[in-house]
Structure 1
Amino acid sequence: MGCGFSQDGQVQQLYQFRKLPSAQDNFEIPERPENRRKTDRKYLVAFIVVLIVLIPFLVYTLMYTDLRTLSGTDNCGNFCGYKNKKYDEWACTGKDYTDQKYQYLEGYVTINDVLRIRKRECVTSCPVGYEPTFHTCIRKSNTVIRNNEQYDESNLTMEDFIALLGNIGRDIRHGWWAIVLSAIASCLLCFGTMSLFRYAVDFVVWFILIGSVGILAIIAGLFWYAYFKMKDSQPIDGKQVKDGASGFMVLAVIFSIIVLCLIIVITCMVKRVKLIIQLFKEASKSIFDIPSLIMMPVWTSMLVTIVFLIFIILTVFMAFAGKLTEVASTPSGLYLEYMQNSVMTIALVYNIFAYIWVTEFIIGAQYMIIAGAVSAWFFTRNKQYLDAPLWTAFTNFTRFHMGTVAIGSLVITIMTIVRGLIRSLCENEKTKWIIECCMSNIEEFLRFLSKNAYIQTAMHGQPFFKSGKRAAKLLVSNAANVIAVNSIGDFVLVIAQLLLIVVSSVVGVFIAKATQTEHYWAIAVICVFIACCMAGTFFAIFEATIDCIFICFCEDTTLNDGMARPFFMSKGLMQFIEDSKAIYPKK
């Protein structure tokens, strides 16, 4: 445990890290607002500049956006169903197609043996054998056979689909009370889970670990039983049964290996599980002591959703932007199309980049604010004297550390874009899978480092890369505990989250059935979605709190010795320290 260096040396390193005079003994964690300074300002300026530069690109592109493109055009770019603008350079433009509302695609024209252009025409009604679908004449499908009965696909119209949506909407309005009741039930289950993590965390953790091993062992046993039973049987079709037996054997071996690995990991880290249990206890205590933490993921989800909707709307409008361009000229006439120029293409890519950066910035801001509040809670001996830690963390972020989150989110954004480009450019499926696996792990590692850098910045008020370096040193010096928290701890959280989602979803489905509506499944889908969102929100705050408390725990053991410098941690964590000294003596 610990870094392996003396506490005095670590305190001196903290003085150097914060650029404090060595004579100052009474440093505070987290750093007081009056002692903080703005960090990574140039990256915040870059973030703002990126958003400002996006505006003229958007304005230019949206000036050439015309949603009438959805109605289709003729060969000269005249919109079907509208009176069109006349362009002096093209005599075929300016047609009045008020009565010709449908686009009919006749075939292709090949020009110079290279360019193939689709012939387009605006018509009053679709020809025989075609039907209108979204203002375009589509060839009718032939009669098909489904479930031994004949259906004419031409009878399955858009009107029928719209009527179905109307009936579903009516049932959802009728069963609104079921959705509200399901949301309340999911909320109560989340708070019940939180209470279990606070008052019965030992039972919960060991129940999940032992229960998971037991269930996986039973599944492996069932596959082995099926394999031996099928292997010893006298089949009529020997090859088919042999293939089935081989499949059961592969599944049995896979599950057996998983069970064996879980048993080995749990056995080797049984002492570290005590730390995980204590971290879970501390996390639940901090959330109960700072209940406003629960709302952080809610506000973050709302902001991310708003940004996503704005992005989708802008992207849709930008996708329909284009300038009328002459594609080809033939003896039969001109061919004009609305095409995007390079500026519009750049604007579309730029919009995607800005969206990813803004989204990652919001998520990073949430993490830093939570870290500031939780670290203030951890390093306060008398929790009754906590004075609005979440608000203090928020003001520290907005006044001093927005630039730090800007650079951290930029790193993740660049990695995300590089990953997407490599994935799209790689054609070989095996190579693509290998690259995707490597890039996803690198991205997760960068996210992990960025989160811990945010925690260090929230605690000490230092820039991103400096904080990341200190966080990396802390994590390396506590490598065994890091592995335990990020393997067994994450496994427990994932299983607990799945159990919460399943229970909440089952409750939601039963409530939806009680509405006795024709399309109760639509209400059930909404209830399950709400259950997933609430479980995700709850465990997002819980996981962030655990990560922060773990870093606080590492800082506490690094800077304090429990005697000359008393620990800030709880008695449970102190007991873990004492047990660790007996089990892992210092070398």
Structure 2
Amino acid sequence: MPVLQSLERELCPGFLLPSAPVLGRCFPSPNSSQFEFPGISGNTSIDQGISGLLDSLNARDISVKIFEDLAQSWYWILVALGVALVLSLLFLLLLRLVAGPLVLVLILGVLAVLAYGIYHCWKEYQLLRDKGASITQLGFTTNLGAYRSVQETWLVALIVLAVLEGILLLMLVFLRQRIRIAIALLKEASRAVGQMMSTVFYPLVTFVLLLVCIAYWAMTALCLATSGQPQYVFWAPNASLPGCEAAPLNASCDPMAPPANSSCPGLVCAFQGYLSTGPVQRSLFNLQIYGVLGLFWTLNWVLALGQCVLAGAFASFYWAFHKPRDIPTFPLSAAFLRTLRYHTGSLAFGALILTLVQMVRVILEYIDHKLRVAQNPVARCIMCCFKCCLWCLEKFIKFLNRNAYIMIAIYGKNFCVSARDAFMLLMRNIVRVVVLDKVTDLLLLFGKLLVVGGVGVLSFFFFTGRLVGLGKDFESAPLNYYWLPILISVVGAYVIASGFFSVFGMCVDTLFLCFLEDLERNDGSAARPYFMSKALLQILGKKNDAPPGAKRKKP
């Protein structure tokens, strides 16, 4: 009974597991070790315990089948990922030719979907109105599905969709000039990516740097977690044997001291765990907090580095008057070295501001999780409002940082000045910002759906054997779980498409800020000519008076 009470109070470990030292750490020895449960007679080998668990879950057979499927389909998965890469690249390059028609088709598609929604809501409302199904007959109920059977629900949905349709039509009428500018910037961004193909592979560098930061933090956290003060207590395999009543069970002991003379058989000084209290533990806990803070800071700095490097490369494209002759030979490498040499502190400052907000969000989530049971509805509402405000603040800081990094890459000023200039510039052109942002989001969403959907459909027909006539060399072997390579292909295609389109989105944002700066600082004269493309000059009705061979002065 004392042993069971000790287990319930977590005064001693539930089982003892002999281990062997490996690289300064303790790892279990599954080949020859035995683990014993206190108070339970007999012992069980680790291999037997694991084998019994795997057999009960049928995991051994499933894992073997999964391994066989991956061994037979891994090269076809790589082919599917290659197809995703090619589709993403082709989509970005073809935007130079089909950006206008594609945006028009997408806008008309949204209008058609809203129009169909209005028609459907009208038919449902008409049907329920003829039946006399009103909300007055239904009354108040917590079953939200019941509201689908009353006419007022469909009438409200009809009004909302009609208002959205009207707003979108008015936007198309009054903002058509800005939509044309957005399309021209998308074409220019596609041209920039085509001129600097190395930029589309830069997300791999960011991914590697993120992995390095996470791995370093994990190793540091593991070292800190195993650096506490160990605690040893007296323990006996069976405390109910005669002679163990007077033994100092669960009392602290020194493992290096000589064995104590005791009438209790098997009495040993066993490791119980690491102390959770004391000055050493408080210092280690503080170091863990600093480690998490450092992790967030370094991750945000790596992301900021990628944004600033890409912005520097694309800015060099925009401010080249004669393209591609005036574009630097290695724009991405030059931007990378320039950013590391001059802008490391600015990026670190911007990353620190974002990190502090994220840490406050993490602390708030932790407090909410700990006090969730004791909170009343008013406290939960206040906590939800705080979390919502911090989420909005984080999104705003990310938006501000992104544009500040672009201004840093263009002018080389510090973070605060660049953030102020970027914010004021965007506020002076808020309508253009909203139009370009929504058109770009819609276009990139369509691109992701196209790439991921295309790879998913092709993978489904290929791995299920529904593509006939390809020949034996281009047919997939029979699989136990055909969904596994399909799922891997779809997830990989999404990651590849997200990486490519994030570069394109950064290119659009950079060219847009350069375009706004070009409009405000230049006037088309010989001293201050415009650097924008001819298509943008035609849309705006502007022109350059400078001769083609004259020397250009950057802003």
Q: TM range, normalised to the smaller chain?
A: 0.7 to 0.9
Give the deviation of 1:378 after TM superposition: 0.6
* Partner-residue secondary structure (3-state), 1:169: helix
Matched with 2:438 is: 487
Hey, what does 1:147 align to over in structure 2?
none
SS of residue in 2 equivalent to 1:184: helix
**Which protein shows a greater Rg?**
2
**1:81 CA displacement:** 2.8
Contact in 2 for aligned 1:553/1:569 (Cα 8 Å): yes
The structural deviation recorded for 1:381 is 1.3
**Deviation sequence 1:42-81 (CA, Å, 0-9, x none):** xxxxxxxxxxxxxxxxxxxxxxxxxxxxxxx995459613
2:317 matches 1:354: no
1:510 matches 2:461:
yes
**Residue type of the alignment partner of 2:492:** I
Q: Distance in 2 between matches of 1:321 and 1:165?
A: 36
User: Is 1:367 paired with 2:307?
Assistant: yes
Q: Partner of 1:143 in structure 2?
A: none
Distance in 1, Cα, partners of 2:313 & 2:53: 61
Q: Which residue of 2 aligns with 1:91?
A: none
Corresponding residue of 1:573: 536
Contact 1:379 1:568 in 2 (8 A): yes
The reply to whether residue 553 of structure 1 matches residue 469 of structure 2 is no
Change in CA separation of 1:82 and 1:155 when aligned onto 2, cut-off 3 Å: closer
Matched, 1:302 2:208: yes
Q: Is the 8 A contact 2:210 2:302 kept in 1?
A: yes
The aligned counterpart of 1:146 is none
Displacement of 1:257 in angstroms is 5.0
Asked if 1:245 is matched to 2:149, the reply is yes
Task: Give 1:287's aligned amino acid.
Answer: V
Change (3 A) 1:579 1:326: same
TM-aligned CA deviation for residue 483 of structure 1: 2.2
CA distance in 2, matches of 1:234, 1:125: 73
Q: What's the CA shift for 1:490?
A: 2.5
Equivalent residue, structure 1, for 2:65: 167
**Shift, 1:478, TM fit:** 1.9
Q: Are residues 444 and 75 of structure 1, via their aligned partners in 2, closer, same or farther at CA, if it must alter by over 3 Å?
A: closer
Residue number in structure 1 paired with 2:81 = 183
Residue 32 of structure 1 corresponds to which residue in structure 2?
none
Residue 176 of structure 1 and its aligned partner are, at CA, apart by 1.5
Deviation at 1:448, TM superposition (A): 1.3
Distance change in 2, residues 1:249/1:388 (3 Å): same
List per-residue Cα deviations over 1:327-349 (Å, max 9, x = no partner): 99999832754344212222222
Question: Which of these residues, 110, 115, 123, is aligned with residue 217 of structure 1?
Answer: 115
Task: Tell me which amino acid in the other structure corresponds to 1:494.
Answer: L
Count of equivalent residues:
457
Using structure 1 for the length normalisation, give the TM-score: 0.69
Change (3 A) 1:416 1:174: same
Deviations 1:509-555 (A, max 9, x none): 33333433111111011000111011101110000000100111011
Q: Is the Cα–Cα contact under 8 Å of residues 100 and 125 in structure 1 kept in the other structure?
A: yes
Q: Distance in 1 between matches of 2:414 and 2:364?
A: 31
1:384 paired residue among 317, 325, 332: 325
Structure 1: segments with no counterpart, 5+ residues:
1-72, 86-97, 104-119, 136-153, 581-587
Query: What residue is the counterpart of 1:17 in the other structure?
Result: none
2:229 aligns to what?
323
The one-character-per-residue Cα deviations of 1:204-263 (angstroms, maximum 9, x if unpaired) are 11111111221243245335434544565599xx96985432466666565555444444
Question: Hey, what's the Cα distance between the residues in 1 that align with 2:227 and 2:162?
Answer: 56
2:499 aligned partner: 537
> In the alignment, is residue 82 of structure 1 matched against residue 18 of structure 2?
yes
Distance in 1 of aligned mates of 2:316 and 2:521? 16
Name the CA distance, whole Å, in 2 between partners of 1:376 and 1:244. Answer: 56
1:100 shift after superposition: 4.5
SS of the equivalent of 1:200 reads: helix
Cα distance per residue 1:139-160 (max 9 Å; x no partner):
xxxxxxxxxxxxxxx9974662
Q: Which amino acid aligns with 1:399?
A: R
In structure 2, distance between residues paired with 1:83 and 1:524: 41
Q: Which residue of 1 aligns with 2:35?
A: 101
Compared with structure 1, are the counterparts of its residues 209 and 83 closer, same or farther at alpha carbon in structure 2 (3 Å cutoff)? Answer: closer
Report how far residue 579 of structure 1 moved: 7.8
Q: Are 1:279 and 2:185 matched, yes or no?
A: yes
Question: Which AA in structure 2 matches 1:334?
Answer: N
In the superposition, relative to structure 1, how do residues 384 and 249 fare at CA in structure 2: closer, same or farther (>3 Å)? Answer: same
Amino acid at match of 2:454: V
Report the 3-state secondary structure (helix = DSSP H, G, I; strand = E; otherwise coil) of the residue aligned with 2:479: coil
Task: Confirm or deny: 8 A CA contact 2:186 2:508 kept in the other structure.
Answer: yes
SS at match of 1:420: helix
Change (3 A) 1:555 1:122: farther
Q: Where in structure 2 are the equivalents of 1:355-434 lying within 5 Å? A: 355-382=295-322, 383-386=324-327, 387-426=329-368, 427=372, 428-434=379-385
Matched, 1:527 2:489: yes
8 Å CA contact 1:369–1:394 kept in 2: the answer is yes
Higher relative contact order (CA 8 A, sep 6+): 1
**Alignment partners' CA distance in 2, 1:257 and 1:316:** 56
**AA aligned opposite 2:65:** N
Cα distance between partner residues in 1 of 2:169 and 2:234: 70
Give distance in 2, aligned partners of 1:223 and 1:350. 55
Q: Is the alpha carbon distance of 1:375 and 1:243 closer, same or farther for their aligned partners in structure 2, counting shifts above 3 Å?
A: closer
- Secondary structure of 2:250's partner? strand
Q: RMSD over aligned Cα, in angstroms?
A: 3.6
Q: 1-side partners of 2:413 and 2:221: how far apart?
A: 37
Tell me the amino acid that sits aligned with residue 17 of structure 2: G
Asked if 2 retains the 8 angstrom alpha-carbon contact of 1:325 and 1:339, the reply is yes
Moved more, 536-545 or 455-464: 455-464
TM-aligned CA distance change 1:213 to 1:308, over 3 Å: farther
Q: Secondary structure at the match of 2:541?
A: helix
| Alpha-carbon distance in 2 for matches of 1:248, 1:312 | 53
